[in-house]
Chain A
């Protein structure tokens, strides 16, 4: 068994999967008050030997998290209606609003965020992917996201050597998502476990706690927290 001092801060795909499943399970059982993380399996067609097929890939998912502050005054700068669209409405003779339809005057725009934790085979570490959108589905750009999650802002992160938001194609959904670039992850994971004065833990312990510790560090950037119960329950 490899000595923990030689550990490079990374984790294998198998350990990631085990850690992720246990993370999701623990989260659900301990935190009924919080929305649940769930494991989304992504079976890949494998032409390798049959035992390889059992190695299921997937990612952790937390979706539809409202990131807007409740009383924000929303001036919709991205008004999507063309001036040309006006003509359509005038041509409609039928009254689409009958007496039984409630007409709401406040058009409060809320923003939501989806978070995925995906394993990176290149860097051998988990990576946080995120995307944000309005309630009608319109995606938000990075600068709009930064307003809601100020810790994400590049202005706030000049000192952080390991947090950089980039945009890349989601490995399973094949669409551009934002992600926290993983090139610094192994470094800070090493620091987390080996940087203190306390006695060095065994490698098995490190791997078990890996995802939890990773999450507690990375989650701060996007405002996700781990309830204490999960950290204490060891």
Chain B
């Protein structure tokens, strides 16, 4: 639509900014490694190109290459080369502040005037004729918050204000202003200009059309030589704007330059626009503007007013962009870990339940060889909530076998394992929610004095609270008796409990069955009142397939007593073949994942590995065994089933109901009286009567002691 003789004020479409993420990435890295707190202004380059689409304007873009190159930097940034037709470079300046307050406190008027003055200088000095891109000089203020990875910024495109403003005499598509022949020639000439690397990125130029309809494109500095009759002469520029009724922002300073330099009152201009890489004369506009300038314009020293702060959706406020998702290392680690598990689910395990892994809370009793390794394996599976309980300190020999510790943790007497482990987990994966509890686990058969009683009871209560507030408990301590109280508490509350225990060259990994109460209604655990009944209930194999699976102590015929004193030194020092702990820990975690994916969870029946396992397991993770026992000398592993024992000192109904009845007093009694548990469960009775049969219990017990459970 042509505007003819309307004499209305010529209105320019403001430049729009676009900052590529790469600019902020590079700027952050420069700020951290080079600039530091130095907030001196930085010379940068912006890039733009003529409009290339009838419905969309082009932007002034900042890229990683916009920042000055640094010889120290790794050159993954290609230095921008001149002559790129899609990247006409424009000089700019960046003022970055170090605080939000100083960002808001910048003298915006002053900064804008300073840049406008530079443009004014270039207009009068003739610099524009050498490098016309200085007419589009811009200003950027910013505050880069490198803790939150958010960037506050505000562009200004200084435009010298004509006073009074220029008026528009005519504006129409170029195809309507030129004759057909002329248009063809103009297009060809412009395309040639755009395709030559010498001129492709020169945004201001002259288009002259002779009386023979032949067009030529010339540099601005050739203006004087273009003055002859019968010729149309247009001041052309790359116009980023697409609008049919308005030219783009670069025309503002262009007009200012033209009238200051050559004192023209009427200016014919060409807003050069393209479509798909070629000159598009129906999108391009030709206009005629009338300029009346005041006397002051001819005087160099009087800098005109300037406008040009970019609006943000119509409002005079800065913009803000948050790049935490792509820059914050913790976020990146989280997203990478998530995607890794999702990839596993997609490729191999479509039924993988990631939600449950992300949300369960695991309590690890023991932060030694088993505890460290279990914690790592849990994190690898996506578990994010881990609590470690250990009352020991990191010793010099620990870092070799306990994979969360390093030498630093051993110094000055050694840090508490629980706290050092949490620190280590956070270094591996900052998003882990890890807690360390420095606490000893009260043990039966280790009597306490009356002064210690209160603190021991406190520990019991604390342990109970911890177990209550977690979903899964791993028993990873180094003595048999330290596993008793946790086993009882877990059986009482039906928590998923997994035990790992090491011998010198063998291991046991098992999941405890559910507690005696809240189990399936078929189970009846009755109090034995005769020897035969006791014998029956002690049977490890049971014809009733529905009996609940056993816990760690169900296989014992002895109650847990003091296994640490009167031992030879190496057994006390818990020396095992180093390969065992990682194997057992890994199996313990895999067992847990199996439980979590089993429809019956803690109530799941036991399966054993069969040699002819032709897809007999329906679950994608495979079978869910009860116990896994492995032997390194044979490189062998077996899956076993052990049902619960009605005389179990930790999980039988007698014990659990006694605990329910008497609480901490019951615990204290078990701690202080070595035979109390055996008496309670009838084990004492059993042993006495068994002795009359003259079975060699003594020898067998000794073997049983040595066989499995030490660490």
Enumerate chain A interface residues (CB-CB to B < 8 A).
32-33, 35-36, 66, 70, 76, 80-82, 85-89, 92, 94-105, 107, 110, 131, 133, 135-139, 141, 164, 166-168, 172-176, 181, 183
Contacts and interface: CB of A to CB of B under 8 A. Distances in A.
Interface of B: 9-14, 16-23, 25, 53, 55-56, 59, 61-62, 76, 104, 108-109, 152, 159, 161-162, 165-166, 243, 246, 252, 276-277, 307-309, 311-323, 325-326, 332, 335-336, 339, 342-343, 346-347
Contacts of A32: 276-277
Contacts of B317: 81, 85-86, 88-89
A80 B165 contact: no
A166 B20 CA distance: 21
A58 B503 CA distance: 56
B11 to A, nearest CB: 4
| Among A33, A86, A87, A96, residue most surrounded by chain B Cβ atoms (within 10 Å) | A96
A107 B313 contact: yes
A83 B327 CA distance: 24
Nearest to A175: B25
Contacts of B17: 136-137
Contact of A137 (B20, B152, B165, B308): B20
A110 B277 CA distance: 21
A85 B276 contact: no
The interface residues of chain A, by DSSP majority, are classed as loop
Contact of B319 (A102, A103, A136): A136
A73 to B, nearest CB: 15
The interface residues of chain B, by DSSP majority, are classed as mixed
A80 B104 contact: no
Contacts of B325: 139, 141
Given A82-B320, A102-B11, A167-B335, A174 B76 contact: yes
A167 B307 contact: no
Given A89-B316, A102-B246, A137 B18 contact: yes
Contact of B21 (A80, A97, A139): A139
A85 B20 contact: no
Contacts of A81: 312-313, 315, 317-320
21 contacts: A80-B322, A81-B318, A85-B152, A85-B320, A88-B316, A89-B316, A96-B311, A97-B311, A100-B165, A101-B14, A101-B307, A107-B313, A107-B314, A135-B18, A136-B17, A136-B19, A137-B321, A139-B326, A166-B343, A172-B76, A175-B22
A113 B12 CA distance: 29
Contacts of A33: 276
Contacts of A98: 161, 165, 307
A141 B325 CA distance: 9
A98 B53 CA distance: 28
A80 B314 CA distance: 14
B318 A88 contact: yes
Contacts of B9: 99-100
A153 B308 CA distance: 41
A167 B340 CA distance: 10
A62 B313 CA distance: 29
A166 to B, nearest CB: 5
A145 to B, nearest CB: 13
B166 A100 contact: yes
A98 B56 CA distance: 24
A33 B10 CA distance: 34
Given A32-B277, A104-B13, 17 more contacts: A88-B317, A88-B318, A89-B317, A98-B161, A98-B307, A99-B9, A99-B165, A100-B252, A101-B14, A101-B307, A103-B311, A135-B59, A136-B16, A136-B321, A164-B343, A174-B76, A176-B326
